[in-house]
């Protein structure tokens, strides 16, 4: 039972990081009707930024997070202003192709600046392990849980209780109505891309603290993409719940199923997608997605 609870607790921490990255997908999807293929590369850049600030520069975790957020804000603004704003009003496919190009550029920049080599910063993070009886949460997982919960709470407050959050929700519902009320859609798009960049970078720092950073870290976005589909592509709350569910299930699969398979298994990495497929067969709109009804 202790082993099971240990897997659930660490899986919950992992799931919150997945949810954090998934929120970036949902925000861009709601404002532009397009999936941001480059979201995983925001995570990659975040991981390398975390390494740079924590190891070569030797900064504390709070200062590293603040500096990384500053870089994410600039990156989000530049990406939206220079590459996505000219595509406003263009077909959704054009936006998707642009995000694919952005993913390639960001991966190239990561290789250029950091060599694409494996970087780790486990030992430089504060030692704040939590122990409840026989169940313990390592420092990296505990820091990831605390930071991701705080960031998600701030985002939920932003969406529901601020004017810009209301504008973002309204823009996602009907762009023409929003513009008729004097709300600048370009401002909403800029804020959306900044938030997507921030959550991706923070997710990369937290994930890098757990497993280290390397170019394949960008593939973490595929699991976050599964979270989005499972929770419902237009539901931020659904992304949070689905992230926790898939994080826990992935950990349980790693603990119980992988040892039963030859060569150590590897089922844990695909298990979230198996769950996603099963759920979507019976609920194509996800667990919390809205069902669209069109009248002809």
Find all residues with CB under 8 Å of 131, minimum gap 6, and list them.
Answer: 137
Which pLDDT band holds residue 4 (cuts at 50, 70, 90)?
A: confident
Give the sign of the dihedral formed by CA 21, CA 24, CA 29, CA 35: negative
CA distances from 5 to 11, 22, 136, 270 (A): 10, 25, 10, 22
| pLDDT in the model for residue 92 | 81
Closest to 130 (Cα-Cα) out of 4, 5, 254, 9: 9
The answer to whether residues 197 and 42 touch, using CB atoms and an 8 Å cutoff, is yes
In the chain, domain spans: 2-282
Rounded distance between C-alpha atoms, residue 159 and residue 176, angstroms: 20
> Do the Cβ atoms of 124 and 55 come closer than 8 Å?
yes
Residues 6+ apart with CB under 8 A from 93: none
Backbone angles phi, psi at 136, to 5 degrees: -130, 150
> pLDDT (tens digit, 9 = 90+) per residue, 150-200?
988 888 888 888 888 777 777 766 666 666 767 777 788 888 899 999 999
Query: Dihedral of the CA atoms 76, 81, 83, 89 (nearest 10)?
Result: 120
| Structural element, H or E, at residue 265 | none
pLDDT band at 71 (very low <50, low <70, confident <90, very high): very high
pLDDT > 90: percent of the chain: 15
pLDDT digits (tens, 9 = 90+) for 85-109: 888 777 888 888 999 999 999 999 9
Read off the DSSP letter of residue 125: S
pTM > 0.85: yes or no: yes
CATH number of 2-282: 1.10.3470
pLDDT tens per residue across span 14-35: 888 888 888 888 888 877 777 8
Q: How many CB atoms lie within 10 A of CB 85?
A: 14
- Give the residue ranges of DSSP H helices in 56-184: 61-79, 92-114, 139-161, 163-173, 175-180
Q: What is the pLDDT, as a whole number, of residue 58?
A: 86
End-to-end Cα distance, the chain: 55
């Amino acid at each position: 039972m202790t082993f099971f609870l240990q897997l659930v607790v660490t899986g919950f921490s992992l799931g919150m990081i997945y949810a954090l990255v998934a929120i970036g997908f949902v925000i861009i999807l709601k404002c532009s009707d397009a999936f941001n293929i480059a979201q995983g590369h925001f995570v990659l850049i975040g991981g390398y930024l975390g390494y740079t600030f924590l190891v070569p520069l030797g900064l504390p975790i709070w200062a590293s997070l603040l500096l990384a957020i500053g870089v994410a804000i600039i990156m989000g603004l530049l990406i939206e202003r220079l590459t996505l704003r000219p595509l406003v009003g263009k077909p959704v496919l054009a936006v998707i192709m642009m995000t694919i190009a952005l993913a390639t550029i960001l991966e190239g920049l990561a290789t250029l600046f950091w060599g694409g080599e494996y970087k780790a910063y486990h030992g430089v993070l504060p030692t704040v392990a939590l122990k409840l009886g026989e169940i313990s949460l390592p420092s990296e997982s505990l820091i990831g849980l605390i930071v991701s919960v705080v960031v998600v709470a701030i985002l939920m407050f932003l969406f529901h209780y601020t004017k810009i959050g209301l504008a973002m929700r309204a823009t996602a519902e009907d762009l023409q109505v929003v513009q008729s009320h004097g709300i600048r859609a370009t401002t909403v798009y800029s804020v959306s891309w900044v938030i997507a960049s921030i959550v991706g970078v923070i997710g990369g720092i937290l994930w890098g603290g757990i497993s280290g950073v390397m170019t394949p870290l960008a593939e973490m976005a595929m699991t976050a993409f599964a979270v989005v589909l499972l929770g419902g592509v237009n539901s931020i709350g659904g992304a949070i719940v689905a992230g926790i569910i898939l994080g826990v299930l992935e950990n349980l699969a790693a603990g119980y199923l992988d040892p039963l398979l030859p060569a150590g298994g590897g089922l844990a990495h695909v298990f979230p997608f198996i769950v996603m497929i099963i759920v979507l067969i019976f609920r194509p709109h996800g667990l919390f997605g809205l069902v669209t009804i069109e009248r002809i």
